[in-house]
Amino acid sequence: MDNTKGFESNELIDRLPPHLKQFIKPQDYERYTPINQAVWRYVMRKNVQYLSKMAHESYVNGLEQTGISIDSIPSMYGMNRILKKIGWAAAAVDGFIPPNAFMEFQAYKVLVIASDIRQLENIEYTPAPDIIHESAGHAPIIANPDYAEYLRRLGELGAKAILSRHDIDLYEAVRKLSILKEAEGTPEKEIEAAALEVDRLQAMEVELSEMAQMRNLQWWSVEYGLIGDTENPKIYGAGLLSSIGESKWCMSGEVNKIPYSIDAAYQDFDITKPQPQLFVTPDFSYLMEVLEDYATTMSIRKGGYKGLQKLIDSEMVGTIELSTGLQISGQFSRMIMNEDREVIFFKTEGSTALAYRNQELIGHGVAAHPKGFSSPLGKLKRISLAIEDMGPVDLKAYNFYDGKWLSFEFESGIKVEGLNVTGVRNIQGKLMLIRLKDCTVTYKDEVLFMPEYGMFDMAVGKEIISAFAGAADYNSFPNLYEASKVLTVQPVKSEKTIRLEAYYRTVRKLREENISDEKELNAIFRTIKSAYTNDWLLALEILEISKDEALKEQITAYLLDLVEQKPNLHDLITDGIAMLKEEVSMS
């Protein structure tokens, strides 16, 4: 354990950039209560029993390969030790993290695990990411090589998908709602207000950003995917694998089964409700085919004015790459286009960095460009060659040499005048940046740059060939993602809750040590009946290990009476009793 970091590390986690490491937190295994452990055990026993028949074959095999126990909440240390064998790692985080950050973790083959666990009252389903969903849902399928590579590639593309301001607002709203729902004792009015805000944002008719479309692909595959044929599919999506309610519901005729295709990118979802339709992929390799089809529509492949406009609209750090390979990373604020909708000028505001092949150019980090960067693009007027295509003879003919005064006009009408100080060339020897002193840049009646601004670094490039979210070199922007200010709420336990935890601990110890202390079990059951009328899981745990037939009859009658009083517990209790009977018959 590296105490300077505060979390368990390994080779894969060590190589993560600083802007991702900020989200990792210690798992703090001792914080899991005996009630938490019982919730984990109930869900896992129920899931494995049901999913061994209904899930893709990778699920049951993957549980063992990824070090996930049915009886105990997994530790990050144990999971990482085993995940390392299949080339992955796991890291604990605080609930939902920003969409690009989540995707980028996947690109680095690190499984993000929200280390909190759902409350007993949310045992069937929770909108909040928790350790049941992340470790028991995601991890087992990663043992399948085709799926693991799809997940990595999805993360790689998703990390570059351009967001909108709406995406960030929705992320923050969903994070807040999930935290409030899982926080013990949250006033109902606060939950209702948070839910209304999520509904308001989801109801807004906004154009789906690239990130929203990537999020949809992730949702309908990684989270809620089915595999096989539409008539008899199997489950592989983590949201279904970790929900004992929805894993059954999804197989009913009430849920429409649709063949998986690129259409999934444009199908929205509501995270707070069961899904009315699900997509079915024939196999894991087909997921990659659809992903690559979608990738051809992304700005990282297409560039151009549309890509730049998406970056401007996002109001976040993004990158454009020019035809010379020069990459400009910053918050883009303006572009000028010609009548053919070609970008002839762009501008960033604030910290900007220049790079080539994802490596920051020496002397061109944010310290060199703290107030932004701007440049014209395109070909020069009355010159058939673009600057980037000029050979040594051409460059000399047009004075593109150090120490020469330059005065030229682009086809767009943008004029540049200044003293050529130096140039930066790419690996092929072509100019990709020219530094000018005493420079003036004008377009029509507008002055775009004047000598008082200092040195002018002019990007060389005919066109924008790529645009994507984030920085070309992550070292240029160590604080690329801002962590949410809304933190998960740790419960303040009452004396009554502490006593209940002690009862759970006692029963767990008796089961693990195979001790039949019927007097103790009787006493605990009587206390539950009188003081903890909302708790049903501990009674089920006592029923499992008691050998006293009279006590077992009392517990069964008590649980069935609870079902009559509280119909919402019907499936949980009756399934739990049936599970115990099946285990007895098999033993």
Q: What is the mean pLDDT of residues 303-317?
A: 96
pLDDT in tens, 433-483: 999 999 999 999 999 999 999 999 999 999 999 999 999 999 999 888 776
Which H or E element spans position 417? strand 415-425
**Which DSSP letter does residue 24 get?**
B
- The confidence score (pLDDT) of residue 2 equals 41
- The confidence score (pLDDT) of residue 4 equals 34
The backbone torsions φ and ψ at residue 237, rounded to the nearest 5 degrees and listed phi first, read: -70, 135
pLDDT in tens, 35-78: 999 999 998 898 888 888 899 988 888 887 777 888 999 888 88
Global pTM reads 0.87
Q: How confident is the model at residue 6 (pLDDT cuts 50, 70, 90)?
A: very low
Percentage of residues in the chain with pLDDT exceeding 90?
A: 58
CB contact set of 256 (below 8 Å; sequence gap of 6+): 276, 277, 278
**Which DSSP letter does residue 487 get?**
P
CB contact set of 68 (below 8 Å; sequence gap of 6+): 44, 74, 79, 135, 136, 139, 140
More confident residue, 128 or 246: 246
Q: How confident is the model at residue 202 (pLDDT cuts 50, 70, 90)?
A: confident
- The confidence score (pLDDT) of residue 135 equals 82
Tell me the pairing of strands 431-443 and 446-449.
antiparallel
258: helix, strand or coil: strand
The pair of structure tokens assigned to 30 is 């001792």
More confident residue, 233 or 491: 233
First to last CA, the chain: 40
- Alpha helix (H) ranges present in 6-122? 11-14, 18-21, 34-54, 58-65, 76-83, 99-107
57: number of Cβ within 10 Å: 12
- The confidence score (pLDDT) of residue 499 equals 95
Q: What is the mean pLDDT of residues 191-213?
A: 91
- The confidence score (pLDDT) of residue 244 equals 76
Which H or E element spans position 353? strand 343-356
The backbone torsions φ and ψ at residue 133, rounded to the nearest 5 degrees and listed phi first, read: -65, -45
Residue 150: pLDDT above 50? yes
Mean pLDDT (the chain, rounded): 90
- The confidence score (pLDDT) of residue 185 equals 74
Q: How confident is the model at residue 174 (pLDDT cuts 50, 70, 90)?
A: confident
**Which DSSP letter does residue 475 get?**
G
Which H or E element spans position 499? helix 495-512
pLDDT in tens, 20-32: 998 998 888 999 9
Comparing 158-162, 429-433, 560-564, the range with the smallest average pLDDT is 429-433
Comparing 119-123, 324-328, 475-479, 533-537, the range with the smallest average pLDDT is 119-123
pLDDT in tens, 79-109: 888 888 889 998 988 878 888 999 999 999 9
Please write down the HEC assignment for all residues of 100-143.
HHHHHHHHCCEEEEECCCCCHHHCCCCCCCCHHHHHHHHHHHHC
CB contact set of 104 (below 8 Å; sequence gap of 6+): 20, 155, 158, 159, 470
CB 300 within 8 A of CB 464: no
